[in-house]
Structure 1
Amino acid sequence: MNVEKSVPNASELRWFTSSHSSGEGGQCVEVAVASGAVHVRDSKDVTVSALTVPARAWRVFVGFAGTDGTA
């Protein structure tokens, strides 16, 4: 079974950076949350396609990133 999901146009998404980002043009990513998925892109080159991951996978990643990595 081949099911295609509609990916929103990047300009239709509300992108944000981490509250820890300095805003001085450093190494940073932007994140946008959409129905059932999270999109991640390079803040320095927003013309490159975003990485799209299922929302559940993003929650697991963020939960793990907030630990000391021994879990």
Structure 2
Amino acid sequence: MPTQQEPDWFKSSYSGGSGNECVECAHTAHGTLIRDSKHAAGPVVAVRAPAWQAFLEGLGQGVPGR
């Protein structure tokens, strides 16, 4: 039986510089994992690849009216 490899977590480039607002992500074969770096053993949000891609594309479009 294959062993499950630990995700390769990285901090978001948009996390705050004060160290209080750090988000970490890890890419997987099926999408992206997201967690709070201050609570690494806490909950993880799993987002499938198509939803993650739509999220990133939405970020690139900016916020209307600003």
TM-score norm. by structure 1 comes to 0.70
Gaps of 5+ in 1: 1-7
The number of residues matched between the two structures is 60
Instruction: Kindly report the root-mean-square deviation, in angstroms, between the aligned alpha carbons of the 2 structures.
Output: 1.8
* Aligned counterpart, 2:49: 55
Q: CA deviation at 1:19?
A: 2.6
Structure with the higher helix share, 1 or 2: 2
Q: Which runs of no fewer than 5 residues in structure 2 stay unpaired? A: none
Percent identity of the aligned residues?
A: 35
Deviations 1:26-58 (A, max 9, x none): 212100000012100011111112000101101
* TM-score w.r.t. length of structure 2: 0.75
Task: Kindly indicate whether residue 30 of structure 2 is the aligned counterpart of residue 36 of structure 1.
Answer: yes
